Amino acid sequence: MPQPHLRTVVVLAAGEGKRMKSTLPKVLHPLLGRTLLGHVLSAAAPLAADRTVVVVGHGADQVRAHLTDVAPDATPVLQAEQLGTGHAVRIALEAVPDGAGTVVVINGDVPLLRPETVGALVTAHEQAGAAATVLAAEVPDPTGLGRIVRDADGRLEQIVEERDADATQRAIREINAGIYAFDAMRLRDALGKLSTDNDQGEEYLTDVFGLLRSSGEPVAVHVADDHVETLGCNDRVELATLRRLLRDRVNEAWMRTGVSLLDPATTWIDVTVALDRDAVVDQNTQLRGSTVVGAGALIGPDVTLVDTIVGPAASVVRSHAVGAEVGAGASVGPYAYLRPAARLADKAKVGTFVEVKNSEIGAGSKVPHLTYVGDATIGEQSNIGAASVFVNYDGVNKHRTVIGSHARTGADNMFVAPVEVGDGAYTAAGSVIVEDVPAGAMGVARARQRNIEGWVVKRRAGTAAAQAAERAGAVQGAPNGAGAASDSEAMHGPGETVGGPSGAGDTATE
Ligand code: UD1
Ligand code: MG
């Protein structure tokens, strides 16, 4: 019985990435929704490897913790000292001693690698029965990279690192991308023969190719269609370049599926985001994490959505949302902040300078202006007056406010939770609602107004205000002075008007 053909993926991620000048290990730097390492792992995922080994070293604990999140099946293997890429692969294979088959090795810092490309490399390698196949690319500037040295017949002779190369070899623009497929047995054998006789005194994985070739084994080169996929990341300038390149790739793919991006250069969509047909994304917009945008939704300009679900035909303008849900046809902004578990039902509205956290806003309900909604449930078709605060925090605990359906709350209300406003209830402008308002009631909770007639003319005599008052025929000051109010004044207040035609709620806003 032949041994089953195993596929093993080895990702090299032990290096420090000195030039990143970061406390974060290089492979954990984020790039549009995944870390560099996460991108490499997802490019390798369709290979359906029997096992994946990640060589860790610098920041090993952080990298291990990240693997637990993104690739729990991968086995981290510690390379305590970074003695070279050949040494790293040797240690990785010691951790998986058994098995023939194919070993795919990928440098941890090539995040633009596409699954199709690594798949084609492995297929070509396995079909040719090669001992080793390297992914190569012709690049405009090969500085710092290993060169593919071919013989007169165009066959791979060896891979030479730039620092070990002579002038002729340095002129070669075909480079080693740091992505390889090996026959496991022949790789193990060659790794045992690596020397450290090079400029860095390291065991180079790339020397395996020269060794195999001199012992007559077939080695091959697979040339990538697009050299951009092979770009590595060594510093933050390169990281920014990779981010732009990936942005363009992601944006182009979405436009081809029927999403409009009005300004692709300022639209940053994580690889983990999904958009439906006819969604329109306006300029300067970031869509991150597990965000999903429904068909025909309008997002932007100037919007950041993190882990947020936007329903079909909804609109979000100049706003920031994290962990929120926006229902079909709902509208958000301009200038809204949706925090985790803000849930807007269909056709709900959260308007300008409104913050919502951990609250449900029912279908067709509106919170149009200048309001904080925290820990609340609002029913359907209700309207929350401008400048209201859902007072949810007593300094120790958070409490909920419940507003029913078809309620109309006045402007400048405080809802001191826990409190409930029933279906069809109204509240008066300026109310501090500390007690439940029954269904259909008008809740009024504010002081009566008193006007001190003539106060300005008397107390601010000679001012422009007093002169204006006099011109307007203001009543002269009351004999009992500034402190007294005329109780006989007609006071347009809620006490008198509840139930009347000019109800206290008439100062609500819509
Ligand atoms: C390597 C290749 C070079 C190729 C280039 C592509 C070698 C000797 N050279 O060079 O031919 O053109 O990649 O980007 O392989 N790593 C470890 N342990 C180590 C050393 C490195 O895990 O002891 C990891 C690094 O974290 C990195 C990868 O291996 O992810 C490549 O190492 P790096 O030092 O970046 O190699 P290069 O000099 O770029
Ligand atoms: Mg490198």
- Atom of ligand 1 at shortest range from CA of 17: 26
Contacts by 305-312, CB closer than 8 A, 24 or more apart: 308/338, 311/346, 312/276
Measured in angstroms, how far is the CA atom of residue 216 from the centroid of ligand 1?
Answer: 26
**E strands within 156-210?**
156-160, 174-183
Pair of tokens at residue 210: 């020269």
The rounded distance, in Å, linking the Cα atoms of 214 and 208 is 10
Pair of tokens at residue 415: 């809802």
Q: Provide the CA 277 distance to its chain's centre, in angstroms.
A: 21
The one-letter amino acid code at 109 reads D
Q: Per this entry, what is the length of the chain?
A: 510
One digit per residue, pLDDT tens: the chain, 510 residues? Answer: 555 689 999 999 999 889 999 999 999 999 999 999 999 999 999 999 999 999 999 999 999 999 999 999 999 999 999 999 999 999 999 999 877 899 999 999 999 999 999 999 999 999 999 999 999 999 999 999 999 999 999 999 999 999 999 999 999 999 999 999 999 999 999 999 999 999 999 999 999 999 999 999 999 999 999 999 999 999 999 999 999 999 999 999 999 999 999 999 999 999 999 999 999 999 999 999 999 999 999 999 999 999 999 999 999 999 999 999 999 999 999 999 999 999 999 999 999 999 999 999 999 999 999 999 999 999 999 999 999 999 999 999 999 999 999 999 999 999 999 999 999 999 999 999 999 999 999 999 999 999 999 999 999 999 999 999 999 998 765 555 444 444 333 333 344 344 444 444 444 556
* Alpha-carbon separation of residue 165 from 143, 158, 191, 202 (angstroms): 11, 11, 21, 15
The rounded distance, in Å, linking the Cα atoms of 299 and 316 is 5
The rounded distance, in Å, linking the Cα atoms of 211 and 149 is 14
**Which residues are tagged catalytic?**
369
Residues lining ligand 1, CB < 6 A? 12-15, 55, 57, 79, 82-85, 87-88, 107-109, 145-146, 159, 161, 175-178, 204-206, 232
Q: What share of the chain is helix, strand, coil (3-state, %, to 5)?
A: 25, 30, 45
Task: Identify whether the C-beta of residue 289 lies closer than 8 Å to the C-beta of residue 270.
Answer: yes
Strands 156-160 and 147-150: what pairing?
A: antiparallel
Q: Which ligand is nearest to the CA of 231?
A: 1
Pair of tokens at residue 157: 């002779």
Reduced to 3 states (helix: H, G, I; strand: E, B; else coil), residue 396 is coil
Q: Which ligand is nearest to the CA of 80?
A: 1
Mutate to test the pocket of ligand 1, among 54, 85, 134 (most ligand atoms within 8 A of CB): 85
The rounded distance, in Å, linking the Cα atoms of 510 and 495 is 23
CB contact set of 491 (below 8 Å; sequence gap of 6+): 448, 449, 450, 451
Instruction: Please name which of 277, 283, 226 lies closest in space to residue 255, comparing C-alpha atoms.
Output: 277
If you search the block for the tokens 């981290």, which residue do you land on?
A: 76
